[in-house]
Chains A and B, each alone.
Chain A
């Protein structure tokens, strides 16, 4: 009876375990590095190493926190699926590979987590048997594969360094750092690679809750954080991150305004928050990025769980034009929606307030080009705008379909647990670890302006209604480009046939030889009918062997 809750229970107890260790590590400020040397060639040691420090323990605590509630949620969400346990095991391996990535210290172990995330996310996205999910899965897998190729190909730069850790980068490793950052941009869905993120919504909702909060998309960000913890980035790299982050932030926000699919709106909001994180990395604030990463993970998982409970009511209907009036049929889900929505906007004293406001104020504080500032300000307005728009259409109006709420304790419990953390953790983390603190000196009106952005976004979301734009709902034509890029290969593949069976085959002329020698075909191609002839030849070979040996 309780068997299906076992994984959730396991993850929850691991969370408590890691939380205690996290406290210890923060208190003592320790770092452990465990290293196994697999092979050493000419002083170049190919090793397998793990880092245990406060960052990895904080991250793994957050991952366990989220995944325990998501597993609990999916016990009920996937209840009627006949392949329930298959789903849970793939999901568990997904979480496991994220943990590998968090603790990894060297290239090989990082790739275990990195590629493991790619493979298991592919298996999860194609979990449903439809054609759409297959297309989405390939879309995701191939863009992530580009990142893998970048990492694998950068191997020779590691050889030049003489070691395979990616944390103590000396300043000669800046090329390597750039390549690895580009690889992590694919995983974190930054601008030219961002179209897989909404496509990955073809997966079941618990998967989306994990993928988009703490696991898959944050892997790239986490890699850049690890890389830039020791030495600062080059100016070119940080400029690239600033620009791409700002573009992604704006793109995600704008596309979310034009979107009608409930899950895709949340996915696009993840995209804009990821853009904000990369932007912060470009400013060189690794610790704030990490803080926002944690806060974002908590409230975004909560948002997905709330959306999932709505989808359970509507039997899979995601289109917001069908939904509506949920405040009547499921008031509790709407409460959760509101908490996480306000977190997303950065409403005061919820968890994301502490991180998002800090980022925006640091942006006002630091010296950078006006273009990025304007883009991020617009994106902040848009965040408030699409959140309000989503809430408006969910809460008000009348539903076009029947909504039936199935009462279930596990869903309620998972959402309550996560919302508790989403409310308090900002203040809690801040008071636990002063590494996340930054000081800002800005004029009063700039500080007020950030609040004004949010209010303006809410107002715009209430009054504006936008309808139809192919350009924005296809993410500036990015999604059709990636989906149809396979067609570029088609004529090439068609002609490959002529290369193999046309040119090479006639070049070798075996057919012609056999035709010419057809008179002798009885001699040449009469295969041994009796197996004895084989034995005879074998014996002859043996005789030759013995003869030569004795010689």
Chain B
């Protein structure tokens, strides 16, 4: 989901993006009870885009794009259809995984419930430290956090 635009886009890409947003908007309006209405509107929308497909005058094309964006804004839906996990959706950022080091703070009794995992975890930690030290050298001093 590209909700934060940080690169320059070509004109063609902007038009494609406008088309996608327009279809999503139509979905918000007409998807609710029967799909046929939405399909019809989508075909009409596609025809509107196809009409000016071969426009070669850049000034006209630019104006068409701006008009389209304006129309998109003016017709925006009060409750646009959002996927649950995407920004603006209901389940967006609902859960974050806790950091991995939490497992190291477990009590030995708790760790003893999963002996295989923690045995493997110790090996992996040792490997990681070895690899680190091989790459960057041994640390000078113990950091006491």
Contact = CB atoms under 8 A, between A and B. Distances in A.
- Consider the complex of A and B and state whether they touch directly, i.e. have CB atoms less than 8 Å apart: yes
Interface of A: 81-82, 128-133, 202, 258-261, 315-322, 392-393, 396-398, 400, 465, 467-470, 473-474
A81 B94 CA distance: 11
For chain B, the bracket of interface size reads 20 to 34
B79 A260 contact: yes
B78 A468 contact: yes
Contact of A474 (B27, B77, B78, B95): B78
Contacts of A128: 94-95
B34 A468 contact: no
A319 B78 contact: no
Given A132-B90, A132-B92, A398 B79 contact: no
* Majority secondary structure, B binding face: loop
B28 interface: yes
A389 to B, nearest CB: 9
B32 A260 contact: yes
A467 B80 CA distance: 11
Contacts of A398: 35
Contact of A469 (B78, B85, B94): B78
B84 A318 contact: yes
Interface string B26-41: 0111011111000000
B78 A130 contact: no
A315 B79 contact: no
A316 B94 contact: yes
22 contacts: A129-B96, A130-B94, A132-B92, A133-B94, A259-B79, A260-B32, A260-B79, A315-B91, A316-B90, A317-B84, A318-B90, A319-B81, A319-B84, A321-B32, A393-B32, A393-B33, A396-B33, A465-B32, A465-B33, A468-B29, A469-B78, A473-B78
B77 to A, nearest CB: 5
Contacts of B78: 258, 468-470, 473-474
A310 B95 CA distance: 20
B93 interface: yes
A318 B27 CA distance: 16
Interface in B81-102: 81-85, 90-96, 98
B91 A316 contact: yes
Contacts of B31: 321, 400
A339 B140 CA distance: 71
Nearest to A317: B84
Identify the 10 closest CB pairs spanning chains A and B, nearest first: A316-B91, A470-B78, A130-B93, A321-B31, A128-B94, A473-B78, A317-B84, A316-B84, A321-B32, A260-B79
